[in-house]
Amino acid sequence: MAQRARPLSPFMHYRWQYTNTLSILHRITGVLLSCGFLLLVYWLAAAAAGPERYAAAAGILASPLAQLVLFGTVFSFCYHLLNGVRHLFFDMGHGFELQTARRSGWAVAIAAIVLGLVVWFVVRAGLGGAA
Amino acid sequence: MSLKSPLRRVTYLGSAKGGSSHWYAQRVTAVALVLLGLWLVISLASMGGASHEHVVAWLSSPVAAAFAVLLVLTAAWHALLGLQVVIEDYVGDKGTRLAVLLVVKFTFAVAAVIGVLAVLRIAFGVAG
């Protein structure tokens, strides 16, 4: 059977706007958080395996590379949480006016950065400097 | 000619009429994770330290252990539903898509069970 020209998905030919970036960021942070979830399970499993295994895992998580990954996870958590709530309002039919959608988008982006830094430093302080 | 019946040839080509449960579960787990996620942040911030004793002390409380189990299960489910949509959107080849979906689903099922068992082990005081 001959392949007919298929319709293109909207994202292939729509004009790029910053709200598109916010939308794709929700997916990217979601995928990152899925990896963060596996890290959380790794941490819990290490704790369940006893003090020695936990100390080894804590050492790995304290390395600069792991700290960078954890910081990315914390920021992803804050962005995904805030933008997720924004999407729940969309799902209930609110906030679709262009101006409202753009304003809430900006608010989420800025709040995610602020909340991300707050969570990072508060949790670090609470855990006594090591994450 | 084919041995396939006309019904079998059209089944699964249109709407599966089951998408709304996926959509709805994604939202319900999202709302639960707002609460459980904030609980995790507050718990970590107020644990008092990152040593093994601190983690054990934290999860020795039945309430904390219960929330931790719920967090692991809900997060795994939510992540799975989300990753499934992403994979279905971007992996075009049917065979590859099925393979990637199975690997991701198995990975998160295993991670969820490990997470729950880890929390229970600590909660029941057998983690040293």
Contacts with A58 from chain B: Cβ below 8 Å:
50
Contacts with B47 from chain A: Cβ below 8 Å:
126-127
Q: Contact B93/B87 with Cβ under 8 angstroms?
A: no
Domains of chain B with bracketed CATH:
18-123 (1.20.1300.10)
Contacts with B121 from chain A: Cβ below 8 Å:
48
- What's the distance, CA A110 to chain centroid? 14
CB-CB neighbours of A51 under 10 Å: 16
Predicted TM-score (pTM) of this structure: 0.88
Write the pLDDT tens digit of every residue in B6-35.
888 887 777 667 778 899 999 999 999 999
Top pLDDT among B73 and A23 is at B73
> B114 and chain A: CB distance < 8 Å anywhere?
yes
> B82 and chain A: CB distance < 8 Å anywhere?
yes
Write the pLDDT tens digit of every residue in B35-49.
999 999 999 999 989
Which residues between 50 and 109 in chain A have a beta carbon less than 8 angstroms from any beta carbon of chain B?
50-51, 54-55, 58, 77, 81, 84-85, 88, 91
Alpha-carbon distance of A37 to A31, in angstroms, equals 10
> Quick one: pLDDT at residue A1?
52
> Quick one: pLDDT at residue A6?
76
Share of chain B above pLDDT 90, in %: 76
| Nearest Cα residue to A73 out of A105, A24, A38 | A38
Question: In this complex, which of B33, B48, B118 lies closest to A45 when CB atoms are compared?
Answer: B118
Alpha-carbon separation of residue B117 from A128, B32, B41, B66, B111 (angstroms): 27, 21, 21, 12, 10
Alpha-carbon distance of A95 to A91, in angstroms, equals 10
Question: In this complex, which of A38, A49, A85 lies closest to B111 when CB atoms are compared?
Answer: A38
> B123 and chain A: CB distance < 8 Å anywhere?
no
Alpha-carbon separation of residue A71 from A62, A118, B47, B68 (angstroms): 12, 11, 19, 21
How much is the mean pLDDT over chain B?
A: 92
Q: Work out the minimum CA distance from A116 to partner chain B, whole angstroms.
A: 11
Q: Work out the minimum CA distance from B72 to partner chain A, whole angstroms.
A: 8
Contacts with B34 from chain A: Cβ below 8 Å:
81, 84-85
Per-residue pLDDT of chain A in tens (131 residues, 90 and over written 9):
566 777 777 767 777 778 888 889 999 999 999 999 999 999 999 999 999 999 999 999 999 999 999 999 999 999 999 999 999 999 999 988 888 988 999 999 999 999 999 999 999 998 885 44
Encoded tokens for A129: 């400097």
The CA-based angle B35-B27-A107, given to 5 degrees, is 70
> A113 and chain B: CB distance < 8 Å anywhere?
no
> Quick one: pLDDT at residue A130?
47
For the four alpha carbons of B66, B68, B71 and B76, in that order, the dihedral sign comes to: negative
Q: Work out the minimum CA distance from B25 to partner chain A, whole angstroms.
A: 13
> Quick one: pLDDT at residue A80?
97
Domains of chain A with bracketed CATH:
18-126 (1.20.1300.10)
> B22 and chain A: CB distance < 8 Å anywhere?
no
